[in-house]
Amino acid sequence: MVKFNKKDFKDWSNFRSEPKSTLQPYEFDLICELHSVYYNHKYQKPCTCNPKKIKLWIKQLNIIWNNGVEKN
């Protein structure tokens, strides 16, 4: 089971704390960075013309967030 480290868990918790219909550039970068780390792929920024991929990434990162924080 994949879990966030403490810093990433805090960053994702802050992201989740405010419901939103649009993303700020720093939030988009956070999603791209975390997804590349935890889903083990090269950093990329999906096209913003179609939000399907970024919405999927948010759902996938929420699954990891639900798993909690890794114990160090």
The predicted structure's pLDDT at residue 19: 87
Residue 61 has pLDDT above 90, yes or no: yes
Residue 37's pLDDT is 98
Q: What is the pLDDT of residue 46?
A: 95
Using the Cα atoms of residue 36, residue 72, residue 1 and residue 59 in order, give the sign of their dihedral. negative
d(CA 44, CA 32): 6
End-to-end CA distance of the chain: 15
pLDDT at res. 60? 98
- Measured from the Cβ of residue 31, the count of other Cβ atoms closer than 10 Å reads 21
